[in-house]
Structure 1
Amino acid sequence: MKFPIYQADAFTDQLFGGNPAAIVPLKEWLPASKMQKIAAENNLAETAFFISQGENFELRWFTPELEIDLCGHATLATAHILFTELGYSREIIHFHTLKAGTLTVTKKDDLYTLNFPSRVPHLCEIPEGLLGAIGGKPPIEVLNSRDYILVYEAETDVLALKPDFTALAKISPMGVIATAKGNHSDFVSRFFIPAAGINEDPVTGSAHCNLIPYWAEKLGKKELHAYQVSARRGELWCELKGDRVLMTGKAVTYLKGEIYI
């Protein structure tokens, strides 16, 4: 059997920036074990699989190690491919997901806006070994939602982190977000999730589901500009809307091809 495959860089307008995702359109679901093997073979942070359901779509995401509950950049990349390569002509796409409910993506010019659930983080106890594994200066706050959030005094503290990924994978089954006020944006972040086979994710929409409500409260504003300061770097325009967050970014197509399984 052969299937089309696309790859796009999300939350960027430059090739080799942002976060790359593979996108595989399907007519019907493959076994989860098969999709997991495809994702491992692609060896990207996420591979998105989707099938059409009338005017809407079902969407699933796989890291090289596991199926994940929510992924922003691969959702944006999937919408980009639907709009630019697969002839989708409506203004808004509805994606039905297994664990995150219905997610929408709206296109205006070259910008895509994701409507995702807000995940408000709360102060928590620091897991044993976490600060040693993350390295660098001690954070000024530690919170938790799906992921641990370490808040630092300055952007330079976030940039200076050099985590021990082997140790970090043993401490947190999900991700660790490092964040601070930005020098040229409202806030910056980095995201580490070695337990899912991704040491550092370049740009992470799901992490911003936590970061947007946190920084909206801290800064007293609902519209925010953010950078994820990984080596590939990504840019997001964010908004808190009740129990939802909006994340707007760009995307560029890198690859079109076929896979044979």
Structure 2
Amino acid sequence: MRLLVVDAFTERPFGGNPAGVCLLDAPADPAWMQRVAAELRHSETAFVRPLADPDADFELRWFTPLVEVNLCGHATLASAHALFSTGAASDGPLRFRTLHSGVLTVAPSPDGALEMDFPAAPPERTPEPDGLSAALGTAVVWTGRSAVGDVLAEVADAEAVRSLAPDAGALEKIDARGVIVTAAAEPGADHDFVSRFFGARGLGDGEDPVTGSAHCALSPFWSARLGRADLTGYQASERGGYVRTGLRGDRVVLTGRAVTVLDGTLLV
């Protein structure tokens, strides 16, 4: 079957967040999909197959090297890019049926990027988890928790986000799926906020290069702070990547670009 590696949320190879994409033509054994994801070693590998379903065009599942996950933004973007670029899908919106996140829609935007319609996950303010500031190595000024179990931590400024060198072992002790660290962008920047994503305990990740699902929390958080529904976030990892966000009620439109870096055949 056809196997691609796609860098998501970037316009250049070796930027953004890489994902494997397997284009299936029939249902596959979940244990086999898990072994493929373990072989590829990307943070997520997506498995896509066409459906004869009036409500969805494709089934979509995501696996880390260790477990199946409920939602993955960058691998969804990579999957849509793979389908469009290989001719496996037309130019119309793609509807992906998922096991735990409903039907997700991805459509081309007027400028050639891809728009993903995801559920919003606004963080609710909570006390700072014990040890969080010490684990991050910087003071936290606001903390909340999203519906998917991420802790969102606002710090003093963008430079504090960019210069973070957290204690990975201490972060593992935080009771969360992952820790989103964020701040407003510097004056004059080409984006509105910056972020980084750490942890993802049990999912096989350390720092994630660009995290679509984190922006389901970042979008409502920063839209409330800045008073605008449409924003641009920059995830300031080593690879880096931009995510445009549009808050639409209880949904978030995440917009980004992607680049194919490998296109081949899986032989097993």
Instruction: Please state which band the TM-score falls in when normalised by the shorter chain.
Output: over 0.9
Percent of aligned pairs sharing the same letter: 44
Which residue identity lines up with residue 230 of structure 1 in the other structure?
S
* 1:60-87 per-position Cα deviation (integer Å, ceiling 9, x unaligned): 1111121111111110110001001133
Do structure 1's residue 208 and structure 2's residue 246 form an aligned pair?
Answer: no
Q: Deviations over 1:118-140 (max 9, x none)?
A: 001011122222222222x2111
Alignment partner for residue 206 of structure 2, among 199, 205, 210?
199
Equivalence for 2:194? 188
- Taking structure 2 as the reference length, the TM-score comes to 0.92
Aligned to 1:224: 231
| Aligned residue identity for 2:8 | A
Unaligned runs of 5+ in 1: none
> Which of 104, 122, 125 pairs up with 2:124?
122
Q: Distance in 2 between matches of 1:224 and 1:49?
A: 30
Pair 1:113-2:115 in alignment = yes
How far, CA to CA, are the matches of 1:6 and 1:260 in structure 2?
A: 13
Contact kept, 8 Å, 1:168 with 1:194, in 2: the verdict is: no
The root-mean-square deviation of aligned C-alpha atoms, in Å, is: 1.4
1:14 CA displacement: 0.4
Of 149, 154, 157, which residue of structure 2 is paired with 1:151?
Answer: 154
- Structure 1: which amino acid aligns with 2:76? T
- SS of the residue corresponding to residue 171 of structure 2 reads helix
The aligned counterpart of 1:258 is: 265
Match of 2:136 in 1: 134
Aligned match of 1:102: 103
How many aligned residue pairs are there? 258
State the one-letter code of the partner of 1:114. Answer: M
Q: 161-170 or 141-150, which moves further after superposition?
A: 161-170
Question: Could you tell me whether the CA contact under 8 Å between 2:9 and 2:257 is conserved in 1?
Answer: yes
Partner-residue secondary structure (3-state), 1:198:
coil
Q: Which residue of 1 aligns with 2:33?
A: 35
Q: Identify the range of structure 1 (199-208 vs 158-167) with the bigger mean alpha-carbon deviation.
A: 158-167
Matched-pair contact (CA < 8 Å) for 2:151–2:176:
no
Q: Residue 25 of structure 1 aligns with which residue? A: 23
Which stretch shifts more, 81-90 or 231-240?
81-90
The SS at the match of 1:6 is: strand
Cα deviation 1:228-249 (Å, max 9, x = unaligned): 1111110121110000001111
In 2: Cα distance, 1:83 partner to 1:166 partner: 40
The 1:220/1:35 distance shift into structure 2, 3 A limit, reads same
> Please, which runs of 5 or more residues in structure 2 have no aligned partner?
none
Return the alpha-carbon distance in structure 1 between the equivalents of residues 211 and 70 of structure 2.
13
The verdict on how the C-alpha distance between 1:236 and 1:202 changes in structure 2, with shifts beyond 3 A counting, is same
1:5 alignment partner in structure 2: 3
Which amino acid in the other structure matches residue 225 of structure 1? T
Task: State the Cα distance separating 1:194 from its structure 2 match.
Answer: 4.5
Superposed CA deviations along residues 97-136 of structure 1, whole A, max 9, x for unmatched, are 111111000113521001100001011122222222222x
Give the TM-score of the pair, scaled to structure 1: 0.95
User: Which of 174, 179, 183 is matched with 2:182 structurally?
Assistant: 179
1:93 and 2:91 matched: no
Matched letter for residue 10 of structure 2:
T
Give me the whole-angstrom Cα distance separating, in 2, the residues matched to 1:125 and 1:204. Answer: 24
Contact 2:72/2:213 (<8 A) preserved: yes
Counterpart secondary structure, 1:125? coil
Per-residue CA deviation, residues 147-177 of structure 1 (Å, 9 max, x unaligned), is 0000012000111211222232232351100
**Aligned CA distance change for structure 1 residues 173 and 225 (closer, same or farther; 3 Å):** closer
Q: Deviations over 1:14-65 (max 9, x none)?
A: 0011111100011233222221121111111110001110360010111112
Distance 1:194 1:178 in 2: 13
State the one-letter code of the partner of 2:44: E
Secondary structure of the residue aligned to 1:14 is coil
Q: Which residue of 1 aligns with 2:68?
A: 67
Check if 1:237 corresponds to 2:244.
Answer: yes
